[in-house]
Amino acid sequence: MFRNNYDNDSVTFSPQGRIFQVEYAQEAVKQGSVVVGIVSKTHAVLAAIKRNAEELSSYQKKIIPIDSHFGVALAGLASDARVLSNFMKQQSLSSRLTYDRAIPLSDITSRIADRAQTNTQQYGRRPYGVGLLIAGVDAKGPHLFEFQPSGVTQEMVACGIGARSQMARTYLERHLDEFESSSREELIKHALRALKESLSQDKELTVDNTSVGIGGLDESFVLYEGQDLTEWLDATFENREGGGDEGGDAMETDS
């Protein structure tokens, strides 16, 4: 039944120095649909593919606005993400109430990291089966943080997690130099193209399955879904409708 004797709980090391329960939790992240995040000098953007369990059901929420200055995108167990996002909402609100301060992103990230790490060191607990991208703006400008079930967090310039996210990351690596000076619209286009990369051949980005969240200097974190995305999707993938000048040019280099 078990792969080996060392994966029964998250407090036991294998002789190779691995903690299997944590690695399994990281597998849960890889099963989740893909999410990407990018930061420029002025903005932080999150984009995600939403999945629906069946044709008749609604789509699973992928981006959760936490406070007016930041939000998170999730890959993995949505229920674990809800626990973490509720905690983050409480912490941000408490920072606003006690200090009248928008909580710094590095701060909120290390708080959930501490929580997640505790789960890997106490008997009878399990790691969170979710990875998060935390994006927004604080006193020090735009930020993007990656959170893993192990409790590891890293600040990123661009990041993609979830199923087939390697394709998205390859896109991001190829365009790394362009992000810093990108405008709001360019950043969204990059994020949507990165998403598209990791989609299987027969699938497309639509207003139903795509979700975009943006935070910027002097601008609140806003979640865009449904019809609000029409213009961006059309502008990014112009060749879908027969091509255009500016977007079509960019598409050639991408595909």
Footprint of another protein (CB under 8 A): 97-101, 104, 106-107, 110, 138-140
Amino acid at 219: E
**Which helix H or strand E contains 118, and what residues bound it?**
helix 105-119
Alpha carbon separation from 244 to 182, 235, 237, 252 (Å, rounded):
21, 9, 9, 11
To the nearest whole angstrom, how small is the minimum distance from the Cβ of residue 117 to another protein? 16
To the nearest whole angstrom, how small is the minimum distance from the Cβ of residue 137 to another protein? 12
Burial class of 172 by CB neighbour count within 10 A (0 to 12, 13 to 18, 19+): buried
To the nearest whole angstrom, how small is the minimum distance from the Cβ of residue 135 to another protein? 17
Which is nearer to another protein, 106 or 170 (by Cβ)? Answer: 106
Which is nearer to another protein, 18 or 101 (by Cβ)? Answer: 101
SS3 of 201, please? coil
To the nearest whole angstrom, how small is the minimum distance from the Cβ of residue 181 to another protein? 23
Residues 6+ apart with CB under 8 A from 57: none
By the 8 A CB rule, do 72 and 61 touch?
A: no
Which is nearer to another protein, 186 or 219 (by Cβ)? Answer: 219
Which is nearer to another protein, 107 or 234 (by Cβ)? Answer: 107
Residue 203 CA to residue 193 CA, distance in Å, equals 13
Residue 80 CA to residue 47 CA, distance in Å, equals 20
Which is nearer to another protein, 22 or 103 (by Cβ)? Answer: 103
To the nearest whole angstrom, how small is the minimum distance from the Cβ of residue 116 to another protein? 17
